[in-house]
Amino acid sequence: MRRTVRGTSTAALAAVAATLLTSVAAAAPGPGAPSVGDPYYPNAGNGGYDVSHYDIRLTYQPTTDVLSGTTTITATTTQELSRFNLDFGLRVSSVLVNNVAATFSANAAGDGELVVTPARPLAKGAPVTVVVAYNDRPSTVKINGFTSWVKTADGALAVNEPEIASWWYPSNDHPTDKATFDVSVEVPDSVVALSNGTLVRTTKNRTGWTRWWWRSTQPQATYLTSLEVGKFEVNRQTTPDGKPFVTAYGADLGDSLGAAKASVERTPEINEFLATQFGPYPFEAQGGVVTTAIGFALENQTRPVYGARGFIAGSNASLVAHENAHQWFGDSVAVGRWSDIWLNEGFATYAQYLWSEHVGEGTAAELAQYVYDSKPADDPFWQVLPGDPGADRQFDAAVYDRGAAAVHALRSQVGDEKFFQILKTWQATKKGGTGRIEDFTALAERIAPGRPVRQLLKVWLYTPGKPFAGPNGPTAR
């Protein structure tokens, strides 16, 4: 499911040029590119096809960490293809392309590339169905030297950013190729299997095992598709506007359980507030999963996951506001390139400021000013560029805090009315797709003509050093 990607980087052009050269050398039809050409993650995604749906059908046994089953990918080719890549690290037993056995090479270089050669080349613009059968222990699998799969005492978690898919299903692993998902996972009766979207049903086909069927009906990025297996208290409720609201709390939360519930159970109320700021909540379901197994939180589509330590000091609605703001900024409108991470973290952090003001705590203006005032000009914080932090600093504090101050600086410059018009127009026009910082800048310039928006964002996002004017403008303080 690929929308138009505006703005093309030099590296992307180089990747395209390389592909063209390869296909000329091999004579058409050539192979699909092994990458989408994202400079931060050179192996991420692939070229030559566009996925519309993943049907993931697995069995997981926590006692052995064995994950087995099939993923069926429905795609359309965007060029003639002699072969193509998927991103996947597990051991593969067979690949069918349009019901015919294909030859394949699975993670041969340890870089998570599954290379598939169909029996006959695929025509351009043709529907294609790929069935990958596999069986492995994900916690033993390394891709580019590391593992993202988390094994727990009673289950496992597939939760990470920017890369997790390759440890549990084959995909075109880049936010520019979103798809809908069916995730069906069979686990022992003593544990549950959680994923995104709506719980369609649970079934029992063999004694001692339950199969959980989850469905996401709106375009979803591969890294935002999650799996949590283990002992959880699962609560199935409905939001005031009639959507499924599924929350799950790890059985081992102990003292954090009360604070976690007091926070995550407020999700519908928080989303109702965020909808007044950004436009309608973009998805068919809401929820949250709390676990002791990770030390961060992640905005998995419709159902963020929270590391329990987020609630160790008490309830934390602010964290819930951050992850749910990502449902708009990050999930519904995803990054076009990973260097665009400010569009996710700057806005999710700013949403925490808006929530704070909404509940009568510090105002957004005060919180943004605090970021500015609390860090002296020689603090290394000011050297990280929120607009292009580098892959190794993608989640640096500067992307979040300087990034949120940048959002407030924009608001100060264009005024409240145009500011919220920019946010809502961005959401409405990019819903279900991706965006780049350049697209956002152009939109802000269009809605606030005559304001030096581009220059302001250049200073806040792309210029090392502490900006001379604070986020409330040159006259404030």
Minimum distance, C-beta of residue 393 to ligand ARG, in the bound complex (Å) = 12
Closer residue to ligand ARG in complex, CB, 182/340: 340
Whats the size of the chain, residue-wise?
A: 477
Find where tokens 């590119």 sit: 33
Minimum distance, C-beta of residue 262 to Zn ion, in the bound complex (Å) = 21
Residues 335-394 interacting with ligand ARG (rule: CB under 6 A): 345
Selection from ligand ARG, Zn ion, none that 191 binds (CB < 5 to 8 A by kind) is none
Out of 156, 274, 298, 456, name the contact with ligand ARG by CB under 6 A.
298
405: phi then psi, degrees, rounded to nearest 5: -65, -35
Longest dimension (CA), the chain: 71
Q: Are 187 and 172 in contact (CB under 8 A)?
A: no
Closer residue to Zn ion in complex, CB, 57/266: 266
Selection from Zn ion, ligand ARG, none that 160 binds (CB < 5 to 8 A by kind) is ligand ARG
Closer residue to ligand ARG in complex, CB, 381/395: 395
Instruction: Compute the Cα dihedral for 266, 268, 269, 271 and give only its sign.
Output: positive
| 44 scored as a contact of Zn ion (CB under 5 A) | no
CA angle centred on 462, ends 461 and 468, rounded to 5°: 75
Return the structure tokens found at 412: 């100060």
Contact region for ligand ARG (CB under 6 A) — 87-95, 113-121, 198-206, 293-301? 293-301
Cβ neighbours of 360 (radius 10 Å): 7
Out of 38, 136, 161, 163, name the contact with ligand ARG by CB under 6 A.
161
Contact region for ligand ARG (CB under 6 A) — 166-174, 243-251, 294-302, 411-419? 294-302
- Per the DSSP assignment, residues forming a β-bridge with 236 are 246
Return the structure tokens found at 4: 């138009």
Minimum distance, C-beta of residue 94 to ligand ARG, in the bound complex (Å) = 32
Minimum distance, C-beta of residue 298 to Zn ion, in the bound complex (Å) = 8
Out of 79, 160, 277, 472, name the contact with ligand ARG by CB under 6 A.
160
Selection from Zn ion, ligand ARG, none that 462 binds (CB < 5 to 8 A by kind) is none
Minimum distance, C-beta of residue 324 to Zn ion, in the bound complex (Å) = 10
User: Residue 152 contacts by C-beta under 8 Å, 6 or more apart in sequence?
Assistant: 62, 230, 291, 293
Report helix angle 364-374 to 342-358, nearest 10. 120
Minimum distance, C-beta of residue 454 to ligand ARG, in the bound complex (Å) = 27
What H or E segment, with its residue span, contains residue 113?
strand 113-117
Closer residue to ligand ARG in complex, CB, 331/439: 331
d(C-alpha 54, C-alpha 131), whole Å: 10
d(C-alpha 388, C-alpha 341), whole Å: 8
Cβ neighbours of 65 (radius 10 Å): 16
**Interface map 342-361 toward Zn ion (x if CB under 5 A):** ---x--x-------------
Out of 87, 154, 182, 299, name the contact with ligand ARG by CB under 6 A.
299
In one-letter notation, the amino acid at residue 204 is: K
What is the contact surface with Zn ion in residues (CB under 5 A)? 345, 348
Residues making contact with ligand ARG (CB under 6 A): 160-161, 296-299, 322-323, 345, 395
